[in-house]
Chains A and B, each alone.
Chain A
C-alpha cells in the first residue's frame, strides 16, 4: 500500500530525513512516533506529495508520489498539524467543498458529507462558521475533510495535539473506527497515543528510522513484565520478601518516603497475583500494583541499546533523557 525506500530530505544543508525505508500494508494502522523535529511532518508532507524528497522513492498503491502526484492525492486524505479550515465557511459548506474538490459529484458529496458529519459528530455544528469552532471540533472537522472522499489512505499529523483528556479519548476512538475502511498513518510524539490505536509504530529520531516494532514487540522491548509496586512501609520494607518470590528477577527501589516505598520489579513469568497475595498475607498495605506507562524516552533508550540518541539533552517538556 505505502512503500518508502531510502527516502531522504535536506532543508539546505540540514538533514531532515535520512534514508528511511518501510512498508505499510492495506488496512494497517501505523503510528509515526518521534520527538518534535524528528522528521515526522516532513515524512507526511512527502507522502502527500506536498513536498519533494531530495532522494529516494515513495509509492502509494504503486504510484510514485513525485511522478504521479495527482493520482496519489486522489487516494489520500490528509489532516495536517493545523486543520486546513476556511474560517468564513460553515462546517457543512466546507465539507461539501472538500468533497467536491476531491472529485465527488454534487449528489455523492451531499450523501458522503452527511455520513462523515455523523461519523465525526460534527452535525450539530454544521451551520456554524469554522472560525467559531472549539479546538476539539476543529480537529474533528479536519478528520471529516480527510475521509470525506473515501480515500484508501488517511494521513493524520498529530491529530490529538492540544486536545483535553476527554477529547483525546474521543479522538482515539474516532481514529480506531477509521481502521475498518482505511489504511491509517498518523504521527505523534506521545507513545500512549500511538499505543492505543496502532498495530505498529515507526520510530523516527533525528530523521532516521530507529525501528518499526509491532505494538506487541514494542511491549516486549519495553518489558511488559516490569511492574511498579507501592506499599505502606518504612525502609527496608518487603524488599527481601519480594526478591525471594519465584518469578521475581530484580527489585529496585523507585521512590521511598512519607511512610511509603515504591519498587520496580522485573517479572518472568507474570506473577502479579502471587505477588499481591504474598504482600497482603504479610500484612503490608498494597497501594499500587501495575505496569509502568510506556514512555518515548525509554523506547529510544531500549531501541538504541542505551546509546541513547540525544542522551543528556532536554526535551521540550523540560525532562532530561536518562539511562534506563
Chain B
C-alpha cells in the first residue's frame, strides 16, 4: 500500500498545483449554487426535504460530469507528456498504479462535492430536515462519483490523450445511464437486467430521499470494482503493443 499512498499524494498534489483542479472546483461550486437557487429553492413554496432532495438531484448531474473531467488526465496525460515511463518502468504493480490514481481522483472529487455542504446546512438550519438525509445524500454522491471516476480511470487508461479519454468515459457513462430506457422498451429478462444495471434511476434516488440501502451501495461499489479491474487489465495489456 506504500506505493498506492505515494501515487495518491503525488496525484493530489497535481490537482492542487495545477489550474485544472481549481477550475473544476470553482465550476462545480458555481453550477451547484446556481441550480440550488434557480431550481431547488425556486419561486414556489416547497417542503425543506423536497428542496434537499432536489439539491442532491442536481448535484448528482454535476458530480457525474465532474468525475469524467477529473479522471480524464489520470493516465492519458502521462501518456501524452511521456511521464508514464517513470511509473511504468518502476517496480510498481499495475493495480497499485490504477488504485492510486483512482483514489486521488476520488478524494479530489470528495473535496469538490463536500465543499457544497453549506447549501444543505442552510436548509438544515432554516428548515426541517434530518442530518440522516444529508449524510445519505452525500454518501450517494460519493458512491456515484466513485463509479464515475472508475469509468473515467478506464477511459484514461485506454485513450491516447485526454480528449479521447473524456469522450470515451462520457460515452460509457451515457451508455450506462440510458440502460433504463432499454429496460423500458424490452421484455424480461432483458428489461429486468437493463433496469438493474442502469446507472441512475433505480440506485441513486433512494439516497436523495435519505434511504441507504445495502443493494444500492453494493451496486455502486461493484461498478467501481468492475471498471477498475478492467482498467488494471487494460494497463497490463499495453505491454503487448
Does A88 contact B92, Cβ atoms closer than 8 Å? Answer: no
Q: Which of A97-105, A120-128, A251-259 contacts B (4 or more CB under 8 A)?
A: A97-105
Q: Is the interface of A mostly helix, strand, loop or mixed?
A: loop
Question: Which residues of B pack against A, CB within 8 Å?
Answer: 3, 6-7, 10, 13-14, 17-18, 81-93, 239-241
Does A84 contact B82, Cβ atoms closer than 8 Å? Answer: yes
Specify the chain B residue showing the minimal Cβ separation from A88: B17
Instruction: List residues of A (49-84) whose CB comes within 8 Å of B's CBs.
Output: 49-52, 70-71, 73-74, 76, 78, 80, 82-84
Rounded to whole Å, the gap between the CB of A80 and the closest CB of chain B is: 4
Q: Is the interface of B mostly helix, strand, loop or mixed?
A: helix
Q: How far is the CA of A180 from the CA of B79 in the complex (A)?
A: 33
Contacting A97 at CB < 8 Å: which of B10, B84, B240?
B10
Interfacial chain A residues near B14, Cβ < 8 Å: 86, 88-89
Does B91 contact A86, Cβ atoms closer than 8 Å? Answer: no
Does B92 contact A83, Cβ atoms closer than 8 Å? Answer: no
Contacting B13 at CB < 8 Å: which of A52, A78, A85, A88?
A88
Given contacts A48-B89, A84-B86, A86-B83, 7 further A-B contacts (CB under 8 A): A50-B85, A50-B88, A50-B239, A70-B93, A78-B89, A84-B85, A93-B13
**Chain A 135-170, CB within 8 Å of chain B: the 1/0 string?**
000000000010000000000000000000000000
Interface size on A, residues (CB 8 A): 28
Rounded to whole Å, the gap between the CB of B134 and the closest CB of chain A is: 35
Interfacial chain A residues near B7, Cβ < 8 Å: 101
Rounded to whole Å, the gap between the CB of A107 and the closest CB of chain B is: 14
Does B89 contact A74, Cβ atoms closer than 8 Å? Answer: no
Rounded to whole Å, the gap between the CB of A289 and the closest CB of chain B is: 45
- Say if the beta carbon of A235 comes within 8 Å of chain B: no
- Say if the beta carbon of A87 comes within 8 Å of chain B: yes
Does B85 contact A78, Cβ atoms closer than 8 Å? Answer: yes
Interfacial chain B residues near A52, Cβ < 8 Å: 239-240
Q: How far is the CA of A82 from the CA of B241 in the complex (A)?
A: 19
